[in-house]
Structure 1
């Protein structure tokens, strides 16, 4: 039972036999209903991972977004579950249409060592060809940030014009990203024509997430930034940015993921205000700053 739990609750006969479980033990498990025989040669326990079960039943391997959680990759959307079923992404190689299944190309790289899951390289290649650019970018960035793969390797695996859009996504992968918010925000800012530097060290402030057009600090706050102690620290950092002559704005998950256009438009508005002198130095508005 523990052996199967460690494998998502499902295994083939040969896997069980190699692990030292005799045919008689399997027969006993089926007899007392602690094991279920899904079909010939495939055993499962109650509560087995339904995606892994589906992969075994389809004689395929999970890939693309359906495999992301097995490599602990960031995902733009919550993985499919009972509340959010979605389509299952498999590589079956048969070309046969199945309801609720996106069947990807054959895998060409080593698969997961014991689960019916495609290798990381195939998972990312399939995602780059299948998913929207932001969704695939987040997956790739997560793997690159952890040193599991490189963009150069992926580009070599995506030759020709038909893979041009997939290669273009790789150009937005950052050398370092601490969260998916940084990846998404960077892409939105660059697409808007802004000059962006990430993870910039500022005197008296420390490292900031983004410096836009060398005058506007943009910080991206996740859940930990909502803790009272962190909120206080962030406000002091904002003050330090302003003391250093920079403007400062803060955005949250819902802004970056669900309202990116509003976020970008707000930043553009602030930059336009600065351009026309609304944040002008004291010499343009004499008398409002006491003499030092």
Structure 2
């Protein structure tokens, strides 16, 4: 592996000590600097062209990426939208322009990149982010077995962490996508009885069963493929044959228009309670015609 490949494997940035440990001599580093493909970010830090800008910024600020700024490095779900400022743990509490400075990291960190470990990332997010943004981060970490809810609760004692612990109460035992945890939260907040990943005879596993009568499926991008669409429609038929209505929602519904989604679910449930989906009171003409 040459020096540039080594840097690219480290998001484009490395400390001189790490380069030396990897066997790159001062002469090799000098040649790379002369070529213009590598530059000195600051004393003891070298950066290649095309380096990850967040990693570069963290090295420059002597901080570690954390909270939402570190989510992608741990494979955590996030809601759309650009976070306000770069979230770093700089450890000194001094204000920096364009930086949201978090508490010092107290758990194991990335071995060579300026990135907080998953535990600190989640604890910082629970104290910093709005409820749903923090929830999807924690849900994805728990689903990947990066941390446990018990571990996080133990790290959040006292009244000042009451809001953070309340977010942990919304985490599901299993969630295959951020759509599931968001939909579950919105429906529960609307006062509905919600079961997730329910096995129905003749249908298979459905995403949500609301009030034991309404199946709700949450469709990602793969559900738009022709083969999957046909399969989903047959599943809809099977659900209705079994006496349950079906609604399907997509990413834009759950993430961008949750109020409209919940209102529609409530309207369907109200119609069902009013008997609008039951048998007609009189026999229609099309049944009596010969």
Q: Does 1:42 align with 2:36?
A: no
| Residue matched to 1:125 | 123
Residue 159 of structure 1 and its aligned partner are, at CA, apart by 0.9
Q: Does 1:242 align with 2:240?
A: yes
Q: Does 1:4 align with 2:7?
A: yes
Residue 286 of structure 1 and its aligned partner are, at CA, apart by 4.5
CA distance in 2 between partners of 1:45 and 1:257 (Å) = 37
CA distance in 2 between partners of 1:290 and 1:178 (Å) = 45
CA distance in 2 between partners of 1:223 and 1:203 (Å) = 26
Q: Aligned to 1:67, what secondary structure does the other structure show?
A: helix
CA distance in 2 between partners of 1:34 and 1:226 (Å) = 43
CA distance in 1 between partners of 2:179 and 2:140 (Å) = 11
- Residues 48-92 of structure 1 deviation map (CA, whole Å, 9 limit, x = unaligned): 1110000000001000011011111111125x5xxxx84110000
Structure 1's consecutive aligned runs of 4 or more residues displaced over 6 angstroms after TM superposition are none
CA distance in 2 between partners of 1:249 and 1:270 (Å) = 9
Q: Return the match for 2:71 from 68, 71, 84.
A: 68
Unaligned runs of 5+ in 2: none
Q: Return the match for 2:104 from 102, 106, 111.
A: 106
- Cα 1:290–1:202, aligned 2, differ >3 Å: closer, same or farther? farther
| Residue matched to 2:20 | 17
Unaligned runs of 5+ in 1: none
CA distance in 2 between partners of 1:207 and 1:250 (Å) = 14
CA distance in 2 between partners of 1:86 and 1:130 (Å) = 11
CA distance in 2 between partners of 1:180 and 1:210 (Å) = 14
TM-score when normalising by structure 1: 0.94
- Residues 202-246 of structure 1 deviation map (CA, whole Å, 9 limit, x = unaligned): 001110000000000000111111111111111111111111011
| Residue matched to 2:265 | 267
Q: Aligned to 2:191, what secondary structure does the other structure show?
A: coil
Q: Aligned to 1:8, what secondary structure does the other structure show?
A: coil
CA distance in 2 between partners of 1:151 and 1:58 (Å) = 32
Q: Does 1:29 align with 2:32?
A: yes
More off after superposition, 203-212 vs 32-41: 32-41
Q: Aligned to 1:37, what secondary structure does the other structure show?
A: strand
CA distance in 1 between partners of 2:84 and 2:49 (Å) = 23
| Residue matched to 1:287 | 283
| Residue matched to 1:145 | 143
